[in-house]
Structure 1
Amino acid sequence: MRCLDNDGKTEAIIKNFSPHYRRQYAVAFCKHVQDELEQHRDSQSQFLKTKPPAEAGTVLYEAELLHFAEDLKKWKDRYVVIKNDYAVDCFETKEAYQKGASPKYHVLPAGGKVLTSEEDYNLLSDKHFPDPVGSSEKEVAQAFVQLPREFPVYLWQPFARHSYYCFPEPEAQRQFSAVLGDCVRHSNHDFLKQTTYEVEAFLEAIQFFRQEKGHYGTWEMITGNEKEQRINSIVDGISETTVSEPAQKCCTELIQPFLASILEELMGPVSSGFTEVRSLFDKEVNEIIQDFQNTNDITKLKENVDQLMKLPFNSVKMEPCYLKVNLLQELLQDLKSRFKIYHIDFVIQRTQNFMQEVL
């Protein structure tokens, strides 16, 4: 009965969402046709130019490691490959991957959190899935998955099966967790950078669908960059007649007086992050120059320059830069209560993506 009830709710949600999507699809398609006819005459220039994407299928990480096979309820040696689509593929063996076999597991890490200790994983699980008994007694929780090695990596996802990996030494754990963190960040935001009218229609339909239910704030399950958040003339008309006056009053009285202090709080960690990126680049370039002066080896110089081009995708070297921005999590706690800003994680992730693009 519960399954049938859920099916009914799902059908009702889709039925309510469909008119919004049909309407926004028509609007987005007309804008697309107009843009094609005018040959992008009105396109705005950007301060930060988006780099052309790397060649599809570029491998960012590959290694043999221990992965917990959920269906078998046991740890298995797997060959894990992560390409620049930021999905995690687990193969039976390296040979299976090289022969083009399908992966045993294909994990899309969007919305996930990467954790490297059992304690942190249990705390996050308890927060989202509290004990229904509500026992106040402090009991030693039995590990959900017994670890065969000392250094685990957990991929926690709110609406998907969690993934567990294990490593014999901390350096391998750190490398994989850094790459996995990149995967989560890009999976959360890269879809929203697509400029197709289908994506634009879907995002705006979601926005109207949620506004119809009185939800005007940010939503952690769908994020976008400035392009997707751009409001067209139809939205302007609706906003003007419904929420313009109270929103204007709220901004003038409750937000505008604090903007300077908010910007100041934001700029500290953000500037530190970009400064760290510049320092990393300077360090790598100086090492290449020093090496060439010592060896005068043209072949080695070309190899080093090739490695420098791949620096933005070196998750371990980039991690200290990203950590500078993570300080926003602590500094902006006051925003959560004052302005109901609950998704600071996504502000941090977008900033980290921009840092990677700059390099």
Structure 2
Amino acid sequence: MGDVVSSHLDEGKREIITARTRDVMREFGETYQQQYAVALFNSVRYEIEGGGTQSQLLHRKDPLVDRSIFSGNLFQYLEENRKWRNRFVFVASSYSISLYESKTAHDRSLHPKVTINCAGYRALKSMEEYMDLVNNSLPGVKARPSSSPFVKCATQFPLILWHPYARHHYFCVMTEKEQTKWHAVLQDCVRHTNNAVCEDVSELAHAKGVELV
């Protein structure tokens, strides 16, 4: 600018600038690719759980092993006597769900009433969804929510773990906010246990020299 006369770059200078730019963009691209996945995960986690985000996601300083991912109280339907009971629910780091008579029973390390492995399940939050799945899985049989032996929910906010070949589990809560929170927890358990099964199968196949298609 001013009295400085600009000139075109010669071929050598252009090659130097191009090479340096390529190196910088390659390093930036690698970092961006890693951090974009972290930022996306944190965004989804914030929408589901609320609150702050994990600042050191790539290198967790506080591992979850042997710790609770989530815990709280739900009403569970007991099929043997068709009654609802309040249960303390403990979700372990393995994403298995354990139901106790009470929090005191858990704190005393008593055996849980039920332990659920969520692999293969679907987490539902309405009887309409549940009936649709029941009808689709039983050709020729049309079930109604009000007909026996199907469950009559104690509240307006049910939570159901449905499986095509295993026992179904019925829960309910008192508010819509609790229902949304617990539904997200159940979905996480299903997703993580399904992924764990896939990883176990892949490792077993690799050990036996089998290629999975």
Bin for the TM-score computed over the shorter chain: 0.5 to 0.7
Name the SS for the 2:210 alignment partner.
helix
> Structure 2: 5+ residue runs without aligned partners?
1-32, 38-56
> Structure 1: 5+ residue runs without aligned partners?
1-46, 208-228, 230-359
Question: Under a length normalisation based on structure 1, what TM-score does the superposition of the two structures give?
Answer: 0.39
Name the SS for the 1:102 alignment partner.
coil
Q: Which amino acid aligns with 1:116?
A: K
Number of the residue aligned with 2:102: 93
Name the SS for the 1:109 alignment partner.
coil
Q: Which amino acid aligns with 2:189?
A: C
Q: Are 1:114 and 2:123 an aligned pair?
A: yes
- Say which of 136, 146, 151 aligns to 2:157: 151
Q: CA deviation at 1:203?
A: 9.0
The answer (yes or no) to whether the contact 1:109–1:187 under 8 Å persists in 2 is: yes
1:130/1:93 Cα in 2 relative to 1: closer, same or farther (>3 Å)?
same
Describe how 1:200-219 pairs up with structure 2 within 5 A: 200-201=206-207, 204=210, 207=212
State the identity as a percent.
28
1:131/1:176 Cα in 2 relative to 1: closer, same or farther (>3 Å)?
same
Number of the residue aligned with 2:183: 177
1:172/1:195 Cα in 2 relative to 1: closer, same or farther (>3 Å)?
same
- Say which of 155, 161, 167 aligns to 2:167: 161
Distance 1:72 1:61 in 2: 28
Distance 2:162 2:203 in 1: 32
The answer (yes or no) to whether the contact 1:66–1:165 under 8 Å persists in 2 is: yes
Identify, as 1 or 2, the structure richer in helix: 1
The answer (yes or no) to whether the contact 1:91–1:103 under 8 Å persists in 2 is: yes
Question: Under a length normalisation based on structure 2, what TM-score does the superposition of the two structures give?
Answer: 0.64
Number of the residue aligned with 1:78: 87
1:203/1:180 Cα in 2 relative to 1: closer, same or farther (>3 Å)?
farther
Deviation per CA, 1:143-196: give whole Å up to 9, x if none. Answer: 510111110011111121011110110011111000100010011112433599
The answer (yes or no) to whether the contact 1:114–1:156 under 8 Å persists in 2 is: yes
How many residues matched? 156
Number of the residue aligned with 1:142: 146
Distance 1:150 1:160 in 2: 25
Q: CA deviation at 1:129?
A: 1.2
Distance 1:117 1:57 in 2: 32
Structure with bigger gyration radius: 2
The answer (yes or no) to whether the contact 1:78–1:93 under 8 Å persists in 2 is: yes
Distance 1:114 1:166 in 2: 12
Identify, as 1 or 2, the structure richer in strand: 2
Deviation per CA, 1:198-251: give whole Å up to 9, x if none. Answer: 46336937x4xxxxxxxxxxxxxxxxxxxxx6xxxxxxxxxxxxxxxxxxxxxx
Name the SS for the 1:204 alignment partner.
coil
